[in-house]
Amino acid sequence: MKDEMINKLDKNYIESRILPGYEGVCKEIEFIEGFIPEFFSKNGEANNIKIMYEKLDEINKSDESKEVSCVDVNKGFHIYKEYVEGMLKFINDIKNVDMLTESRDFENYSSQFNQAKRKDALFIDAIYGGNINQSVNTNVTEAVSNIEFLIEFIPELKILKEYCDTLHNSSINSNDTTKEKLFNESSEMFYESVGYYIHSTVKNVLSTFCDINDKLNEEIVTTESVKDNFKLFI
């Protein structure tokens, strides 16, 4: 189950990266917008999700405790949301900079862009198991919030798509090709970043889902059952 879902996810992401930045992120968003409802449907994981909640309910009624190691996907979303706002402000500043009077500022933007370009994927990795948002042992009844996050993620996908559309439809009223080049490169970085973030988010949710199910399906080896295994000569 896990391999099949994640392979499907990875295959689409690889295909989307072949396309130009804007087209690639649009393909990724469109795929995920269809993937999430399918995941919760009767043709997807609806039955396994139902069974999972039934087992979680049983655990809540008992003293049993089960944990999985996972990141807080919701926390990762809020961290990335601030990052997106910063990127958009940066790109807008490039668009509005006056090359004649603010050349020194433009050089600073260029330097910041090169640094951001090198670290973007590393930053997203850091909010999914890295030093910004580490994986921690979490009770399965709390870890299930990662799966529920997918429902909240659908309207957020639309917002990210609107950001990409706005950038794609933007134009620069400047004869300076250097400014135009940096604006376009920064926009491309934004598209790539959003695509990678979306892919990483859903992949982490699927991993949590599978880990929870694996943990719930574990057989508990009791002391008595171990004793019975060694009653060979009785």
Tens-place pLDDT, residues 9-60: 999 999 999 999 999 999 999 999 999 999 999 888 999 999 999 999 998 8
The closest of 199, 190, 182, 202 to 164, measured between CA atoms, is 190
111-157: pLDDT as tens digits? 899 999 999 999 999 999 999 999 999 999 999 999 999 999 999 99
Please measure the distance between the N-terminal and C-terminal CA atoms of the chain and give it in whole angstroms: 43
Is the pTM of the predicted complex or chain greater than 0.95?
A: no
The whole-number average pLDDT for the span 166-194 is 87
